[in-house]
Structure 1
Amino acid sequence: MSFHLIPLEEKLKALDELRTVKELFASRGWFPGTSGNLSVRVGGFAEEAFYFAVTASGKDKSVSTPEDFLFVDQQGKPCETTGLKPSAETLIHAEIYRLTGCGAIFHIHTIFNSIISERYGDKGAVPAQGIELIKGLGIWEENAKIEVPVLPNYANISKIAELVPDALKGDIPGILLRNHGIYAWGNNVFEAKRHLEAFEFIFEHIYHSLLLP
């Protein structure tokens, strides 16, 4: 499907959802120094024809303007004439969409996910077991054990994107970049938000557990 054939109401819905999530996450201090990026998919879900709205690069996410978001194609390139630049990490979003078929991806930097990703970076994954909010990821086994993948934080974003396929775990809707932040996704905005909040609880729980004698 061509981007121009996507109904206007679908595009406006994606932008409204992004504004709402951006304002909520900004109120929690999850976008320090213009960091982080958010996206919502629109149009078809075939690999060869999908698009998504994504946060523009370098914007203060604690304020709202008409130039906070733009639409890009499956290569992360703007699909409308615009002076805006997509977030530097748009390629990672595009790869996650291509591989998972998800509907929304949220990426934030917090003290807890940064520290925990560095703590377990050499192991390539963050282990967690028996934490209640693992259920927030849709995993309901008793005393469930999970491992959240950790990828190197290369300066070359395309180099990170190349690692995404091998890092994906079917039941874990997230990937950490070492000493950087978490990418969490879901079938829609509600699910991606739930997954992100669950990950953040898990990382904070692990952090405080490591401090115990």
Structure 2
Amino acid sequence: MPTYDEARTRVIELAQFAASRGWLPATSGNLSVRVSHTPLTFAITRSGADKARLRPEDVLLLDADMRVQGEGPYKPSAETTVHVALYQKFDCGSIVHVHTVYNNLASELYADRGFVEIRGHELVKALGHWEEDAVVRIPIVPNWADLKRLGWAVAEAAQADVPAVLVRAHGVYAWGDTPDDARRHLEAVEFLCEYAYKLHLARAGSPMIG
């Protein structure tokens, strides 16, 4: 497991990557890296930080009860409840949460269905699906204002073989065993959300497709 300093560096790297893609607008989003298993501790971005310009002090060390370890003036992200719920369910190593236009559009378009279904696309391999004509369903949950309820909803919908959950009109949570895995899963899901939305538009406008 990484030290707190190592985890903090990886959180900043993840934030810089996502911010460079425009995925963390207006101080939105939150990112974390696990530091220890028992007891659970993890490094996570503080509330209100500009993720494109994170400083080391903007990444806090928390325990499973969301208590800040050590001294400092900052509070953790309001959505830390979701990170705790996912760490406890999957014992994963890193979690990233971003807000983008395409994951919001996909979550709205398929909200009534409860998932975004991707069939036979090459990029599902990045999510660990190598079988011929693989079908992946990315769950969608409501954007509960009660953040404890949101954490429960995301964790309940989350599946071990699809490392991401969409929150309707909000954003996406993706996770992995390592920060690199979490980043890869996030990139794949973002691409697939854009693909699903544009494919829907293309089919709606052209009877030649599908």
Please say whether Structure 1 and Structure 2 have the same fold, judged by a TM-score greater than 0.5: yes
1:182 paired with 2:172, answer: yes
**Kept after mapping to 1: 8 A contact 2:63/2:69:** yes
Q: C-alpha separation between the residues in 1 aligned to 2:70 and 2:166?
A: 31
1:151 paired with 2:144, answer: no
Indicate the residue corresponding to 1:82 in structure 2: 72
Q: C-alpha separation between the residues in 2 aligned to 1:64 and 1:79?
A: 19
Q: 1:36 aligns with which of 10, 29, 32?
A: 29
Which stretch shows the higher mean deviation, 124-133 or 110-119?
A: 124-133
Indicate the residue corresponding to 1:27 in structure 2: 20
| Superposed CA offset, 1:92-116 (max 9, x none) | 0000000000000000000000010
Q: 1:62 aligns with which of 52, 63, 68?
A: 52
TM-score by length of 2: 0.92
Q: Secondary structure at the match of 1:40?
A: strand
Q: 1:17 aligns with which of 4, 10, 16?
A: 10
Q: C-alpha separation between the residues in 2 aligned to 1:200 and 1:60?
A: 21
CA drift of 1:82 comes to 2.0
Q: C-alpha separation between the residues in 1 aligned to 2:146 and 2:56?
A: 29
Question: Which amino acid in the other structure matches residue 18 of structure 1?
Answer: V
Indicate the residue corresponding to 1:71 in structure 2: 61
| Ranges in structure 1 where 5+ consecutive residues have no aligned partner | 1-5
Which stretch shows the higher mean deviation, 32-41 or 163-172?
A: 163-172
Q: Secondary structure at the match of 2:118?
A: strand
Q: C-alpha separation between the residues in 2 aligned to 1:10 and 1:92?
A: 22
Q: C-alpha separation between the residues in 2 aligned to 1:117 and 1:139?
A: 22
| Superposed CA offset, 1:5-55 (max 9, x none) | x9xx71111011111111111111111111010000001x24xx1100000
State the identity as a percent.
42
CA drift of 1:79 comes to 2.0
**Kept after mapping to 1: 8 A contact 2:8/2:56:** no
Between the two proteins, the alignment pairs up a number of residues equal to: 203
Question: Which amino acid in the other structure matches residue 51 of structure 1?
Answer: T
Question: Which amino acid in the other structure matches residue 23 of structure 1?
Answer: Q
| Ranges in structure 2 where 5+ consecutive residues have no aligned partner | none
Which stretch shows the higher mean deviation, 201-210 or 63-72?
A: 63-72
Question: Which amino acid in the other structure matches residue 3 of structure 2?
Answer: E
Question: Which amino acid in the other structure matches residue 100 of structure 1?
Answer: F
Question: Which amino acid in the other structure matches residue 109 of structure 2?
Answer: R
Indicate the residue corresponding to 1:3 in structure 2: none
CA drift of 1:190 comes to 0.7
| Superposed CA offset, 1:109-145 (max 9, x none) | 0000001011111111111111111000011111110
Indicate the residue corresponding to 1:205 in structure 2: 195
**Kept after mapping to 1: 8 A contact 2:32/2:43:** yes
CA drift of 1:164 comes to 3.1
Which stretch shows the higher mean deviation, 164-173 or 25-34?
A: 164-173
Q: Secondary structure at the match of 1:42?
A: strand
Question: Which amino acid in the other structure matches residue 68 of structure 1?
Answer: D
Q: C-alpha separation between the residues in 2 aligned to 1:165 and 1:66?
A: 29
**Dislocated runs of 4+, deviation >6 Å:** none
